[in-house]
Structure 1
Amino acid sequence: MAFDPTQPFLRADGMEHGLSDKVLRGPGYRQLFRGVLVSSSTPPTAVQRVRGALVLQCDEAWASHASAARVKQAPIPTIADEHVSVAHQKMRRHHKGMRCHVGDPTGVVVERGMRVSGDIPMFIELSGQLGLVDLVVVGDWLVRRRGISPAQLMTACKRSRHKDARKAWAAARFVRRGVDSPMETRLRMLLVLAGLPEPEINLEVRDDVGELIRKYDLSYPAVRVAVEYNGKLHVEVVENWEDDLERRADMDEDEWRLVVVISPGIYKDPLRTLQRVHRVLLARGLPGVPLRLLDDWRPHFPGFSDAA
């Protein structure tokens, strides 16, 4: 292949193609890892760094764990190191800023020109890096964006011999169809881990002729309660704000109760969110609502990790 400095390359390869050590150390090139460079004219991206990690490995290596998730653009939190896998212990190469694992190459696929873990193997690998809620976020994303069914995910996790397969299976049990965003997953998990009945996802309310009137992120249709996460977009875009006002007026006419949750209700004060929803469900008489909330949610949400 022709030498392309806009793609990560080994320093030795650059020098073989006429680039001096002085030039390679200058502002025209950026170091991704020790001995791996790329032209400074290219914007730094997460995928570029994954490519750089694979340059240091053998041709049979593949991006796995968090690095595979970055290639697929799965919603994961920040994880500093890159992760690659090889088929045998003797093939491992260790470098600063990189973790090299031994894995099963059977499920390896090619995406964006790179060898990466398949969707389900990646989910199982991530179970060793992510907590329960973040892993369910990935699972919901796989179902909605990648066409995997919750049943497929559960079966694969149950059959897997991966050392973290049990954690993956525990998360797969909470994965559902039709979830629109990571924040909806987090909100649902907050409610369920606190012992509240699991809400229905994306309930569609239609009129007498079958026309769609409203759609609720999370709801308890038996008692006409909806719980929704509203991001900044609902406030900053005038059209969204006006639509929300009209929608709430229609809900009032139908005797629906809407509990709106914003970012601080997940990341800053999740207990207040739980108390709000709990009070409404008790007042509306939903069967199965406990008189006292469980504490199982506390280790999984910001500010409450000391409860783990």
Structure 2
Amino acid sequence: MATPSRLQHDRPFTRAQLKASGGDVRVLRRREYVQVFREAWIRSDAIDADTRIRAALLIHPEGAFASHFSAARLLDLPVPDHRFEHVTVRRLKDRRERPELKSHVTRRRRGLTTVRGIPTTDAITTFIELAGWLPLVDLVVLGDALVERFDIRPERLLRACRASGDYYAKAAARAAEYVRKGVDSPMETRLRMLIVLAGLPEPVVKVQIREDGVLKRRFDLCYPGIKLVIEYDGRQHAEDTVQWERDLVRREELDDDDYRILVVTAKGIFREPEQTLARIRRQLIKRGMPDVPQIDEAWRDHFA
């Protein structure tokens, strides 16, 4: 019984392609073949992170491209898990409806790029498209990662959003106003957004302290004028003795220079945000920041 060619082993293929290569469709009954979508198959040992979007594009006409959540994943940008693959086509008749597959249609111009041979919307286009799918904080998480990964200035992202005629461009522009350069992680973004949406002064991102031109310290979130550092601790080195000892030495040095480090964990963002905000506000006042506002309850709309 003839089997698909080596190329088709590595990538999704259709029944028609299998027949055209001289293969026998009965091989698809074998355990080593997996149906990705209706009409799209692949060998189980060839499945990788790109398999589903390759299969989704395979069953669409030429000119289709990955978009939305699928594009974000291809671009290695942080988005919540999403069960659907997203493909955009130019004509209504080119849509292909399948379970766990979302076909979009647009005649608007789209910024496109290619990742591992897969056509996809570029980073800014993906950000604008996802404004219709993501809540504000998740969209800012995406934007912070986008400007860092692709070396795009936040001002450029904001201009693109404001110039866009897309339906969700206004929501994209709102999120882009909060995007900052130099953010290292999604949790750092979430912590900063918790502070800002509560109406407290925004901490400065990526503060660097230099002495004689040499970098001495670097803070992810900081209020330099009052020497208050807000630090997210993911506990990834809770069992790392060497890192723990380094952290102790670092904090002792900061104490000597009159810095105050306020450490926030995931629990303080997801389970106890109100207590976290109270801690930060108390330290702002204690360290002499003028006119610290009361906490704005608007943060509750974004941090359930």
Category of TM-score, reference length = shorter chain: over 0.9
What is the match of residue 142 of structure 1?
146
What is the match of residue 296 of structure 2?
294
Residues 179 and 147 of structure 1: CA distance in aligned 2, closer, same or farther (over 3 Å): same
Q: Is the 8 A contact 1:201 1:218 kept in 2?
A: yes
Residue 80 of structure 1 aligns to a residue in which SS?
Answer: coil
Is residue 100 of structure 2 the alignment partner of residue 71 of structure 1?
no
Cα distance in 1 for partners of 2:273, 2:112 equals 39
Cα distance in 1 for partners of 2:98, 2:274 equals 43
Q: 1:105 Cα deviation (Å)?
A: 4.4
Unaligned runs of 5+ in 1: none
Unaligned runs of 5+ in 2: none
Cα distance in 2 for partners of 1:65, 1:78 equals 12
RMSD across aligned positions (CA): 1.6
Residue 226 of structure 1 aligns to a residue in which SS?
Answer: strand
Q: Is the 8 A contact 2:9 2:46 kept in 1?
A: no
Is residue 299 of structure 2 the alignment partner of residue 279 of structure 1?
no
Q: 1:231 Cα deviation (Å)?
A: 1.4
What is the match of residue 186 of structure 1?
190
Cα distance in 2 for partners of 1:98, 1:288 equals 51
Q: Is the 8 A contact 1:3 1:17 kept in 2?
A: no
Report Cα offsets for 1:209-257 as digits up to 9, x if no partner.
2322211110101111000111122323222211110110011111111
Q: Is the 8 A contact 2:141 2:189 kept in 1?
A: yes
Q: Letter of the aligned partner of 1:85 in structure 2?
A: T
Q: Letter of the aligned partner of 2:14 in structure 1?
A: L
Return structure 1 stretches of 4+ with deviation > 4 angstroms: none
Cα distance in 1 for partners of 2:16, 2:302 equals 46
Cα distance in 2 for partners of 1:299, 1:244 equals 35
Q: Letter of the aligned partner of 1:12 in structure 2?
A: A
Q: 1:18 Cα deviation (Å)?
A: 4.1
Cα distance in 1 for partners of 2:291, 2:101 equals 48
What is the match of residue 203 of structure 1?
207
Q: Letter of the aligned partner of 1:228 in structure 2?
A: E
Q: 1:297 Cα deviation (Å)?
A: 1.5
Q: Letter of the aligned partner of 1:58 in structure 2?
A: P
Q: 1:89 Cα deviation (Å)?
A: 2.5
What is the correspondence of 1:1-308 to structure 2 with a 5 Å cutoff?
Answer: 3-45=7-49, 47-103=50-106, 104-207=108-211, 209-290=212-293, 292-301=294-303, 304=304
TM-score normalised according to structure 2 size: 0.93
Q: 1:3 Cα deviation (Å)?
A: 4.3
Q: 1:63 Cα deviation (Å)?
A: 0.2
User: Identity of aligned pairs, percent?
Assistant: 44
Aligned residues: 299
TM-score normalised according to structure 1 size: 0.92
Q: 1:43 Cα deviation (Å)?
A: 3.9
